[in-house]
Structure 1
Amino acid sequence: MQQIDVKVYGNSGNDNVLREVPTSARTVLDIGCGRGDNARHLKERGMIVDGISISEKEILLAAPYLRNGLLHNAEQGLPADIKMNKYDVIICSHVIEHIQYPERLLEDIRSIMKPESIFIVALPNIMHYRSRWELMKGNFKYQTSGIWDNTHVKWYTFSSAIQLLSDNGFEVVKGDVTGTIPFLSLFRKISTEKSRRTFFNLLKGISKGFFGYELLYVSKIKPTA
Structure 2
Amino acid sequence: MTNTVAEINTSYYDQNVRRSGFSSTHRYLLEQIAPNTTVLELGPASGYMTKALAAKGCLVDAIELNAHDAAKAAPYCRKMIVGSVEDLENFSGLAASYDVILMADVLEHLRTPENVLQKVRQFMAPNGVALVSLPNIAYWKMRLELLRGRFEYADSGLLDRTHLRFFTLQTGKAMFTRAGFDIVRIAAPPPTTPRFGRFKERVKNAWPTLFSIQFIFHLRFNPDNPEPNKNIIFNRE
**Fold equivalence (TM over 0.5):** yes
Contact 2:5 2:162 in 1 (8 A): no
Instruction: Give the match for residue 6 of structure 2.
Output: 6
Contact 1:78 1:108 in 2 (8 A): no
CA deviations 1:82-125 (Å, max 9, x no partner) are: 45421000000000000111122111100001120000000111
Contact 1:126 1:147 in 2 (8 A): yes
The whole-number CA distance in structure 2 between the counterparts of 1:82 and 1:163 is 30
Q: 1:31 to 1:100 in 2, by over 3 A?
A: same
Instruction: Give the match for residue 30 of structure 2.
Output: 18
**Are 2:58 and 1:59 aligned?**
no
Q: 1:5 to 1:213 in 2, by over 3 A?
A: closer
Matches within 5 A, 1:56-205: 56-77=67-88, 79-180=90-191, 184-185=194-195, 187=196, 196=197, 198-205=198-205
The whole-number CA distance in structure 2 between the counterparts of 1:222 and 1:63 is 32
CA offset at residue 203 of structure 1? 2.2
Moved runs in structure 1, 4+ residues, more than 6 A?
Answer: none
The whole-number CA distance in structure 1 between the counterparts of 2:79 and 2:145 is 42
Q: 1:81 to 1:116 in 2, by over 3 A?
A: same
**What residue ranges of structure 2 are gaps of 5+ in the alignment?**
227-237
Q: 1:221 to 1:158 in 2, by over 3 A?
A: same
Contact 1:119 1:220 in 2 (8 A): yes
The whole-number CA distance in structure 1 between the counterparts of 2:115 and 2:89 is 8
CA deviations 1:43-100 (Å, max 9, x no partner) are: 1111101111110011011112111111111122361434542100000000000011
SS at match of 1:100: coil
Count matched residues.
210
Worse-matched range after superposition: 119-128 or 71-80: 71-80
After superposition, the CA RMSD in angstroms is: 2.1
**Identical residues among aligned pairs (%):** 27
CA offset at residue 215 of structure 1? 1.3
Q: 1:199 to 1:117 in 2, by over 3 A?
A: farther
The whole-number CA distance in structure 1 between the counterparts of 2:96 and 2:133 is 23
TM-score (norm 2): 0.81
Contact 2:45 2:73 in 1 (8 A): yes
SS at match of 1:119: strand
Instruction: Give the match for residue 210 of structure 2.
Output: 210
Paired AA for residue 31 in structure 2: R
CA deviations 1:170-191 (Å, max 9, x no partner) are: 1111102234399x54x3xxxx
The whole-number CA distance in structure 2 between the counterparts of 1:159 and 1:136 is 21
CA offset at residue 201 of structure 1? 4.2
Q: 1:34 to 1:22 in 2, by over 3 A?
A: same
Contact 1:17 1:120 in 2 (8 A): yes
The whole-number CA distance in structure 1 between the counterparts of 2:166 and 2:89 is 22
TM-score (norm 1): 0.85
